[in-house]
């Protein structure tokens, strides 16, 4: 019965918190360990898993990972992120905070790494040939990395863990030659990345590959993110037709492109009484299997913007058709893998909207 009382108390605490939660939440900042765990839970666990077992991000608790990377590598990775590869940069955290996250991640290591940083001397040209033969199938011919995100998103995919981008400016700035070399020597047991020593290659061959990976730096430095060519948050067209005809033309334009109208209704549907819904704000959801499946495979978070959605609003006699601009939404994801999907979605919206508004 005491147990029941405890639960009642905690449940009431929850209900209370729900009601009162406008007030500043209580932060738990007792000891360093607790603080580090809190920082990790706050900033990293959503992607890398609470126990470092991976998710949208790659696993961090693997022993082969732990023994292949230095604290400096972890620190810089957190600071710089991986531009275009989902992993954000945490420029908002203080140095001490990043350091305590590094120590927290190190808590998963059984043996500390044994890496003495000194440059590797190798032949990048020979390394390039070896890379093409042994690495490109997973990491891409130019080291651009595998498609998708992290570990299993419980749907079918080619690799259980995505191969990271090696030509990434964030990776190259974080990884010393010896960190890259250690990764090739150890591999990452429990992932598709295997120790390179199982092939009949010399240590010099490995050094050559390291030099080749290092040479990606030259291209990486040149790659620059451009601002979107159409930076309006919403794509808006004014329709010359009345409301009903505009809605009809939109649906025609969708069907003509082999899309299914998945659902339609007022924008206020579910928010207000059915009889009070504004009938002049209409939302049409559309898509087809490929249209929805492809982006979700690349980035499960993209479901926030799926299926396709077009909104029709009539106000003061003016009928407008509109959609959220995918080129602008793109910035949310830090995922270059979405580029083709984003471009296709943008074209689809522009075509459907334009067709309805002419």
Q: Which of 218, 234, 244, 339 binds another protein (CB under 8 A)?
A: 234
15's contact among ligand HEC, another protein, none, with CB below 5 to 8 A by partner kind, is another protein
Q: Output the CA torsion 34→35→36→41 (10° steps).
A: 90
Name every residue whose Cβ is closer than 8 Å to that of residue 314 and which is 6 or more positions away in sequence.
Answer: 243, 280, 281, 320
Name which of 46 and 272 has its Cβ closer to ligand HEC. Answer: 46
Question: Two tokens at 98?
Answer: 């990043």
CB-CB contact of 338 with 330 (8 Å): yes
Which residues, 250 to 289, sit near ligand HEC by CB under 6 A? none
CB-CB contact of 294 with 228 (8 Å): no
Stretch of 117-125, 134-142, 205-213, 292-300 contacting another protein, by CB under 8 A? 292-300
DSSP label of 330: G
State yes or no: residue 220 binds ligand HEC (CB under 6 A): no
CB-CB contact of 192 with 159 (8 Å): yes
CB-CB contact of 223 with 172 (8 Å): no
Binding mask 303-342 toward ligand HEC (x if CB under 6 A, else -) reads ----------------------------------------
State yes or no: residue 61 binds another protein (CB under 8 A): no
Bond into 5 cis (ω within 30): no
Alpha-carbon Rg for the chain, nearest whole angstrom, is 25
State yes or no: residue 17 binds another protein (CB under 8 A): yes
252's contact among another protein, ligand HEC, none, with CB below 5 to 8 A by partner kind, is none
For 81-111, b where at least 16 C-beta lie within 10 A, e where not — what string?
bbbbbbbbebeebeeebbbbbbebbbebeee
| Closest C-alpha among 342, 352, 343, 354 to residue 258 | 352
State yes or no: residue 147 binds ligand HEC (CB under 6 A): no
C-alpha pair distances (Å), 293 with each of 73, 89, 357: 35, 28, 29
Binding mask 193-232 toward another protein (x if CB under 8 A, else -) reads ----------------------------------------
Which residues, 306 to 325, sit near another protein by CB under 8 A? 306-307, 309-311, 313, 315, 320, 322-324
182's contact among ligand HEC, another protein, none, with CB below 5 to 8 A by partner kind, is none
Alpha helices (runs of H) in 150-282, residue ranges in sequence order: 169-174, 177-186, 203-222, 243-256
Q: Which of 120, 135, 182, 342 binds ligand HEC (CB under 6 A)?
A: 135
Question: Two tokens at 72?
Answer: 């400096």
Which residues, 149 to 168, sit near ligand HEC by CB under 6 A? 149-150, 159, 161-166, 168
* Chain residues that interact with ligand HEC, rule: CB under 6 A: 43-44, 46-48, 56-60, 62, 65, 74, 77-78, 82, 85-88, 90, 101, 105, 134-135, 137-139, 145, 149-150, 159, 161-166, 168, 171, 180, 183-184, 188, 191-193, 196, 209, 213
């Amino acid at each position: 019965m005491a147990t029941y009382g405890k639960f009642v108390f905690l449940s009431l605490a929850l209900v209370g918190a729900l009601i009162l939660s406008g007030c500043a939440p209580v932060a738990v900042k007792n000891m360093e360990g607790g603080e580090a765990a809190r920082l990790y839970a706050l900033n990293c666990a959503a992607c890398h898993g609470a126990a470092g077992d991976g998710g949208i991000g790659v696993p961090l608790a693997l022993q082969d990972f732990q023994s292949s990377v230095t604290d400096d590598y972890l620190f810089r990775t957190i600071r710089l992120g991986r531009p275009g590869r989902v992993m954000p940069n945490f420029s908002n955290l203080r140095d001490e905070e990043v350091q305590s996250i590094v120590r927290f991640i190190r808590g998963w290591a059984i043996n500390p790494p044994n890496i003495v940083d000194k440059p590797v001397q190798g032949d990048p040209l020979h390394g390039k040939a070896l890379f093409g033969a042994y690495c490109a199938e997973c990491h891409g011919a130019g080291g651009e990395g595998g498609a998708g995100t992290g570990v299993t998103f419980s749907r079918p995919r080619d690799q259980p863990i995505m191969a990271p981008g090696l030509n990434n400016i964030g990776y190259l700035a974080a990884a010393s030659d010896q960190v890259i070399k250690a990764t090739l020597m150890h591999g990452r047991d429990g992932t598709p990345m295997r120790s390179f020593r199982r092939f009949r290659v010399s240590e010099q061959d490995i050094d050559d590959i390291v030099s080749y990976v290092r040479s990606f730096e030259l291209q990486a430095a040149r790659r620059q993110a451009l601002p979107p060519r159409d930076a309006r948050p919403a794509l808006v067209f004014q329709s010359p037709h009345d409301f009903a005809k505009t809605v009809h033309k939109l649906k025609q334009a969708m069907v003509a492109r082999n899309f299914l109208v998945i659902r339609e209704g007022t924008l206020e549907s579910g928010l207000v009484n059915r009889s009070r819904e504004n009938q002049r704000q209409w939302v049409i959801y559309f898509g087809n299997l490929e249209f929805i499946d492809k982006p979700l495979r690349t980035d499960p978070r993209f479901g926030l913007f799926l299926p396709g959605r077009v909104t029709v609003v009539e106000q003061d006699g003016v009928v407008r058709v509109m959609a959220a601009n995918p080129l602008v939404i793109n910035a949310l994801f830090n995922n270059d893998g979405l580029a083709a999907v984003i471009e296709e979605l943008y074209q689809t919206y522009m075509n459907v909207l334009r067709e309805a508004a002419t």
